[in-house]
Structure 1
Amino acid sequence: MDSNLLKVFIAVANTKSISLGAKELNFTQSNVTLRIKQLEKSLGYDLFHRTNRGVVLTLAGQKLYPYAVDIVKKVEEASLKMRNVDYQKLLKVGSTQSNTTIRLTKFIEKVNDDFPDMKLDFVVDSSLNLIEQLLNYKLDIAFVNGNPNHKDIEVLNIIKEDIVLVEPKDKISENTIFAYKNGCLNRIFLEKYLSDENENKYKKVNLENYELILACVKSGYGVALFSREIIEKFGYQDKLKVTDMDFNLDTYLICRKDFIPMIENYLRDISLE
């Protein structure tokens, strides 16, 4: 039984329409009609009743539907695993600087212990750039800040982050926002928050060194948004004014839905907190 014909059958059954099924699959309507007829001919049964309002499953179609869904799912799973065979000796990992600073060492240690033959390649960049690279198949997985909410992305794991605003403790800060680099979601969130809070315009300064950013904030040169873990790692928790922020900038471990690593279950269960 041709799984491609079953995919067309499922799309038409779900949408109850030849035209909507064609649109979902990005096929022509005549192509979908032809494939449905091919499937019906191979099975020897009509699968749909045609009506003025669309199509409905016949009894034979209703019986076929759950088997079709199961067959297509298994074929897709097998295809993914076969495409990933050559990648199991190499896992290309993307990470934001914040995740590199506070948890990537633990990730490397765990993966090396559990998969000693696997090589890890790393790219450190902003969340937005990492998502773009992942979607272009340049990365297998990525640690990014904030939920990407993309139809082609699968979330494998979520790590809770305690996000805080840091300001100088005993000084009035200058109107400057410090961030790691362009595309940094911390800066984007902080810019929006500050623009909602007041009308002052803020300069933006990128420094690719967290300890230097914290030192600049302590000296009164501006403000920044950080995970509390980073502040504590560099010993600044008592040197700055720290305000809890209600931002969803949790760390999301992601991959493409059509290119899931074979160690998927391991990545879903791994604890890095």
Structure 2
Amino acid sequence: MKIAIIGTGNVGSTLAYALVLKGVGNHLVLANRNITKAQGDALDLQHTLAFCQRPMQIESNAIDQVHDSDIVVVTASVPLSNEMSTRLELGPANVNLFRQLIPTLSQQNPRAIFIIVTNPVDILTYLTTQLSGFPATRVLGIGTLIDSARFRALLSVKEQIHPDDLRAYILGEHGPNQFPVFSHASAGGEQIIDNPTHREIFNEVSDAGFDVYKLKGYTNYAIAAATCEVIQSIVYDDHRTMPLSTYFDEWQGIQDNCFSIPVVVGRVGIIRHLHPDLNPREIAALKKTAALVKSNLQTLL
């Protein structure tokens, strides 16, 4: 399976390394606006194969030369600002960048599943769906999968339970208007209740990405691991459930929007949407995040 990574900055190169170590796919293409950076990463990763269990064809290319991929992962972004306080600040410039990239990428990779990592991810997932003309099932934004992973990691410290054994989702905007689904959060069949301690953990999650960003200037490990998880589910047709940003005509009474909802992911992309029964507090949070994302879409697009 041929996987193309568009953008070999901190996230793209870390994702490529994870895919090589795990042996996901058999053909990896690295593409970057600075082609020499992609060439350097490809050569370095080729040298890594001697320590890996599975062989893989690894190459670099110009972005406009990427073609016939099964999966296209877009991590390309305008440079981050040291003063950035919200992902939406990247919106205008990254919208212009995607208007340049996506038409060519979709034409030259007509059967691909697109995975959007670049922020603001909900806006750019919606835009990619529009520009590509692909069905929404084949355009997936990482969205709150990374926030849900952070939530589980912090909850695991409190509960002393492995993060993978915790069932706890964060849905909505990948940003300050996301919300936790405590009504269906559990471990071993025991509910993780909505109490002040767990709410405080959720509040930490909302700021976690920026905490890392302020400390080292970017995030890369967790978001690359989350993206690798999505790619694995596609490559191996795992039918994994995860919260991802996707365009939908209607979900839980919300119409014509794009943000993270629980979906099942396999070889064809999004296989189906899941519809958990939300409690009144969660329904109110859903309506709030939907309205704000819709407003952002109208403003930026």
Q: TM-score, normalised by structure 1?
A: 0.24
Question: Larger Cα Rg: Structure 1 or Structure 2?
Answer: 1
User: Which protein, 1 or 2, shows the higher relative CO under an 8 Å CA cutoff with sep ≥ 6?
Assistant: 1
- Please, what TM-score do these two structures have when normalized by structure 2? 0.22
